[in-house]
Structure 1
Amino acid sequence: MKKYSILHKILFFINSVFAALLLLSYALPFISPKTIPILSVLSLFVPLLMIVNGCFFVYWLIKLHKNILVSLLVLVIGWFTTSPLIKFSNKEVILNNDLKVMSYNVRLFNHYRHEEEITTEQKIYEFINNEDPDVIAIQEFYNSELLDIRLPHKYIKTKSDKDKFGLAIYSKHPIVNTGSLNFEHSANNTIFADIAVNTDTIRVYNVHLESLKINPKKENFGEKNSERLLKRLENGFVKQVDQVELILQHEYAWKNKKIICGDFNNTAYSWAYKQLADDKKDAFIECGIGLGKSFRYIYPVRIDFMLTDTEATINQFKTYSDIEFSDHYPIMTRLHW
């Protein structure tokens, strides 16, 4: 009995630490990364903290122990105050006048052979063409000689005239205006295209916030490299602040219909997401199902988003979790105004 009691004390201490971290994370969307950069790193681990606390809840429930209240209380607070980790039901309505919008970080169409399959590039084109979106926003675009996306209108913005790397927006409908926000001191960027759909003009922002360069296959979490990793993450989050503020300033001037989508390189529990999603609809929250995992990481991480103004009606949201041609999964929504 004594050993059993000690084990419970150790587990309860660990449980309390994870519960406290999760509780602290609920404040992160309200704290600019420039204020306490190291604290922002915690936003990446919120899904993991939720899962761990869920496991402790189940454990104490099985034991019928009062310690269940710790994780239960923190999880209940999160249920009412943060973006959901999991959606149990989804809405799916298909209308002929829906606008099908896809967002996909294609990781340069496998230009650097991250995937061993040599036909990955052609398979990405085939997937996009078969899904037949009306609009697609592509991050980590590469202007390949094999490029075969069969949409008639496009806006491609590379980092320089000589570069082949950048962002792209393709559309079935005419593009009447385009532009680039030109992030300073960054390989990332945000572009936009004004698309004429019937009598409407819809602005589509293709967002790619500062990359954190996390690779679970290569990261060495030893002491020295961990310090370097944390410093890189801090710098990335701070850069994201300036990039988000630039997007918001630009977006504020557009009073018509809009879609903001792309790879935010941050989770739904971050300051960056809260700023961009404020007064907008998140297509996953409106119509998604499951975990919404959009990045191939060791635990569920949703860093690719589809946001619209509140006047839009979102009828469907899908994460293509079976498409593993990149380190991101493509996402698509059907919507109309």
Structure 2
Amino acid sequence: MAGKARRLARRAFLILIWTLAAVFLLSCAAPYLDPARWWLVSFLGLGFAATLLSLLLGLVFALVIKPRYALILLGALILGIPSIAVFFALNTGSGGKVPHAPGARHLRVVQWNVARFIEQRRNNNQGSQTRQKMLEQIRAQNADILCFQEFSQATDSDHYDNLGYVRETLGYKYFYFPRGAGFKNWYGQAIFSRYPLIDSGFVAFPRPGTPEKLVWADVVIGRSILRVYTGHLQSYKLEKDDYERIEKIKNREDSLIPHSLSLWEKLRRATVLRAEQARIVRQQLDRCNYPMIVTGDLNDVPNSYTYHHVRGDLQDAFLEKGFGIGRTFNGLAPTLRIDYIFATDQFKIHRFQRIARTLSDHYMLVADLEWKR
């Protein structure tokens, strides 16, 4: 009887080992599978950190209990190295402050989802002034190019003149910020530059009435032209009720099934829409013959179809000079790196910094690049 119980236990443990390996490898496959057909696999990519941690814990237990089974997990881990490499950066000593070397070959780029600067209406609230703190943080970077998402502007005097402040007070007189037609108060993607722009435009994603789009500008630096893209892809549009559902699921309260179903449907729709937008972005990038810097809030993690398509063969500034997981969204999970700075190989990336100061719900990213020519 004891021998039969041991055989059953070994069999159950082996099934668990194969399950861990299969789930981990499926999460590694998420970047290559269209979420329209494989949306469950896409969710595994979103939870890559959890699948990787589960695999590592399983590997430790297997080494103690049944070392032969550990080979299964070790094999899965080796196959998953490319996915781990985009999830975790191992550079050291590259995130500190270094002086910016101005000149036509050196560029400092800021990427930030400013969340409409939090305070849109003029106020005298001395205890907050979040907007002013954000603008001072932008000023402190002394960047050459600013790329913003959810940048806001209004035509009435009750709201702050963000456009005028960045142009006149911060000194970025060249900019492109397409206005939403028919609105007195609008927000979207904006590019500001210390260098002249000779062309600009945007590609609206197929969701009329929303600010998600890809904005671009051609920047003249010396005798060369650089194209800068910035975009904001479909978010999950989580509202207060959704965050309450997440808390109920975390706390294992009653009625978990209806809470989970409504939340999963919202996540599924956003994932499918974002995949379509990522393909549109990739088409635009493939048509460009200039050296490129691509920034944005992709609203998706590195182990995703979205990241894989948008990045392509571009350099990821965080992977080149960052360290760790590089969280950029300060809500929900501590593993959400969803904001990026990419560049073509005409540039050498000298520094990457994530300024983890909670002003917006996203952290500011700063990269120093050098034109190789």
TM-score, normalised to structure 1's length?
A: 0.87
Residue by residue, what CA displacement relative to the aligned partner does 1:52-103 show, whole Å, maximum 9, x if unpaired?
Answer: 3233334555678554434433222212455432222247486724211111
Q: Percent identity?
A: 25
Q: 2:346 aligns with which of 300, 311, 319?
A: 311
Larger radius of gyration: 2
Which residue of the partner structure matches residue 174 of structure 2?
A: 153
Which position in structure 2 is the counterpart of 1:55? Answer: 57
Range with bigger deviation, 308-317 or 31-40: 31-40
- Rounded to whole Å, the distance in 1 between the matches of 2:191 and 2:203 is 14
* Corresponding pairs, count: 331
What are the Cα deviations for residues 244-285 of structure 1, in whole angstroms up to 9, with x where unaligned? 222222222220111111111111111121111112111112
More helix by share: 2
- 1:76–1:158: structure 2 CA closer, same or farther, 3 Å change rule? farther
**1:284-336, Cα deviation, whole Å (9 max, x unpaired):** 1211112111112323121111111122211111222x311122111111112
Secondary structure of 1:39 counterpart: helix
The answer to whether 1:292 aligns with 2:326 is yes
Where 2:19 maps in the other structure, the secondary structure is: helix
Equivalent position SS for 1:22: helix
**Mapped partners of 1:21, 1:233: distance in 2:** 19
Corresponding residue number in structure 2 for 1:103: 111
The one-character-per-residue Cα deviations of 1:161-207 (angstroms, maximum 9, x if unpaired) are: 40422111111111221111112225211111111122221111111
Q: In 1, distance between residues paired with 2:233 and 2:58?
A: 34
Amino acid at match of 2:115: R
Secondary structure of 2:343's counterpart equals strand
Given residue 242 of structure 1, which amino acid in structure 2 is its aligned partner?
Answer: E
| Distance change >3 Å, CA 323–CA 8, structure 1 → 2 | farther
**Cα RMSD, aligned residues only:** 2.9
Aligned residue for 2:204, secondary structure, equals: coil
Distance, in Å, in 2 between the alignment partners of 1:326 and 1:218 is 21
In the alignment, the residues of structure 1 paired with residue 65 and residue 130 of structure 2 have an alpha-carbon distance, to the nearest angstrom, of 49
Is 2:155 aligned against 1:134? no
Look up the match of 1:170: 192
Conserved? CA contact 2:89–2:324, under 8 Å: yes
Give the secondary structure class of the aligned counterpart of 2:299.
Answer: coil
- The Cα of 1:28 is off from its aligned counterpart by 1.5
Query: TM-score, normalised to structure 2's length?
Result: 0.79
Query: Which residue of structure 1 lines up, in the alignment, with residue 313 of structure 2?
Result: 279
AA paired with 1:130? A
Name the counterpart of 1:268: 302
1:314–1:336: 8 Å Cα contact kept in structure 2? yes
Task: Map Cα deviations across residues 136-182 of structure 1 (whole Å, 9 max, x no partner).
Answer: 11111122515233122221124434042211111111122111111
- 2:215 counterpart (191, 194, 201): 191
**Is the 2:317–2:349 contact (alpha carbons within 8 Å) kept by the matching residues of 1?**
yes
Q: Which moved more, 1:284-293 or 1:210-219?
A: 210-219
| TM-aligned CA distance change 1:72 to 1:179, over 3 Å | same
2:350 corresponds to 1:328: no
Relative to structure 1, the CA distance from residue 173 to residue 38 in structure 2 (aligned partners, 3 Å threshold; closer, same or farther) is same
Aligned to 2:34: 32
The residue matched to 1:36 in structure 2 has which SS?
helix
